[in-house]
C-alpha cells in the first residue's frame, strides 16, 4: 500500500497533533486564497451577484440604478465585482 499510514505506533496525542497541524495548514491556505486579489476581483453575473447577496434581481437593479452598487457591462451583459459588493455592505449599529 503506497498511500497508507500505519497508526499502530502513534499515540492518541501524536494523532491529535498530526490532525491539528494538517487542519491549521489547510485553513491558513484557504484564508490566504480568500484574501487574494484573484478572489476579490472576481466578476459576477447578475444571477451570481443576486445569489451572493441573497437578494432578488429587482433589488439588484434598483440598487444599481440608485448608485448603491456599480455595474460593469459588455453589450447587454452586466457584471459586478465581488470586492465592490463587499464594500457596499455597511455595519449596522446595535
Residue 93: φ, ψ to 5°: -80, 145
- Locus of grid cell 448608485: 67
Query: What tens-digit pLDDT sequence spans the chain (94 residues)?
Result: 466 666 677 788 888 888 899 999 988 888 787 676 665 578 999 999 999 999 999 999 999 999 999 999 999 999 999 889 988 888 777 6
**What CATH architecture is 41-88?**
Alpha-Beta Complex (3.90)
Amino acid at each position: 500500500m503506497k498511500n497508507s499510514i500505519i497508526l499502530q505506533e502513534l499515540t492518541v496525542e501524536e494523532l491529535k497533533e498530526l490532525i491539528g497541524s494538517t487542519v491549521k495548514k489547510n485553513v491558513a491556505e484557504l484564508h490566504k486564497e480568500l484574501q487574494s486579489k484573484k478572489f476579490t476581483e472576481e466578476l459576477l453575473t447578475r444571477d451570481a451577484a443576486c445569489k451572493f447577496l441573497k437578494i432578488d434581481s429587482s433589488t439588484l437593479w434598483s440598487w444599481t440604478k440608485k448608485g448603491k452598487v456599480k455595474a460593469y457591462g459588455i453589450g447587454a451583459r452586466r457584471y459586478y465585482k465581488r470586492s465592490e459588493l463587499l464594500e457596499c455592505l455597511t455595519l449596522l449599529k446595535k
